[in-house]
Amino acid sequence: MRILAAMSGGVDSAVAAARAVDAGHDVVGVHLALSRAGGTLRTGSRGCCTIEDAMDARRAADRLGIPFYVWDFSERFRDDVIDDFVSEYRAGRTPNPCMRCNEKIKFAALLERAMELGFDAVCTGHYATLVDGAGGLELHRASDAAKDQSYVLGVLTAEQLAHTYFPLGDTPSKALVRAEAEQRGLSVAQKPDSHDICFIPDGDTRGWLADKVGAAQGDVVDRTGAIVGSHEGAHAFTIGQRRGLSLGVPAPDGKPRFVLEIRPVSNTVVVGPKEALATAEISGSRFTWTGRAPAVDEFDCHVQIRAHADPVPARASLSDGVLTVRPETPFDGVAPGQTAVLYDGTRVVGQFTIDDAVSAVPLSA
């Protein structure tokens, strides 16, 4: 096959490209330039897709003896990922930019261009596996549970899965990938993994958002509406947050309070007891199926609401264009804007963006 290897400059994508070469494919490497800030450099393990990463990717491609290009996707990344991130926070939601990047950039814009240029598939260093099932190609969890990235790939469609290649999915551990990189003479063998949001390399999400959204003083209230504090911008808070609330009025029972709700229109943050974070139901209308769609409108599954959260047994139902999930045991601290990924065993069934979350604890509790 003709394979376009997306090379981020990290060890995973470099080894994935190497394995594609070993498998006998015609491989071309490409690095995606996602920022117009040409002088941007990594800070330790923070950030990715920088000048340093592009140079690391080129050195890896040279070592593998494959052609290498840098494609400028910065405008598309700004429109589909960064602007979406800002607008979601303005609306009081908590977005996942990695999901949007996979959905809009790596497996939409990149894959579309690859197909136009005659490539058969895009290869990445994601830890996930593809399986030929009875109903077509399926996306499954990786062998290494600690590195499994099937959650952030839940946005892929059946058509995208048909043109995707994940050479690392069956690798038992990241340590083996690093050892393989050493053996191949790849300079990125011990390069730190990137963390945090790539377009906020200093890790100061609150400060970055304040610059984009603007700071405005507002009230912090309890579940009855009583004012218990103030803040400098609702965008700085997330559901489930405990620290940094600066409450002027202690809770009657003396227990810590957590962010339960963000109301962007009134610039209000609602706080309450930890038990009020329990969520009995989540739903959303922006959903996709990963591979074949379920044969029925109501089915049992496991649901994961964060990249590293434990999957929870649940019942999912589809009605009037809205996908609703009711877990056997309540979720903890669900925020609108998060992504819920549905599993059947190790297979990814689909995903949806959470629009609404229903508390398991009544207001009077």
Catalytic residue positions? 101, 198
Residue with tokens 């509790």: 365
Give the SS3 label for residue 64: helix
Determine the straight-line distance between the first and last CA of the chain, rounded to whole angstroms.
60
**AA identity, residue 341:** V
Encoded tokens for 327: 């877990």
Which spans in the chain are helix H? 11-22, 51-64, 74-77, 83-90, 97-101, 110-116, 158-161, 174-183, 205-213
Q: What is the DSSP letter of 78?
A: I
Tokens at 124, concatenated: 């990445």
Beta carbons of 3 and 121 less than 8 angstroms apart: yes
Neighbours of 1 (CB within 10 A): 14
- Extended strands (E) in the chain: 2-6, 26-33, 68-72, 121-123, 129-133, 136-140, 164-165, 218-221, 227-231, 258-263, 268-272, 278-284, 286-289, 298-304, 312-319, 322-327, 331-332, 339-344, 347-353, 356-359
Q: Is 203 left (phi over 0), alpha (psi -120 to 50) or beta?
A: left
Give the torsion sign (CA, 106, 198, 33, 66).
negative
Backbone angles phi, psi at 124, to 5 degrees: -135, 170
172: number of CA atoms within 13 Å, CB side?
Answer: 2
Which tokens belong to 268? 């209000």
Closest by Cα among 279, 320, 317, 280 to 300: 317
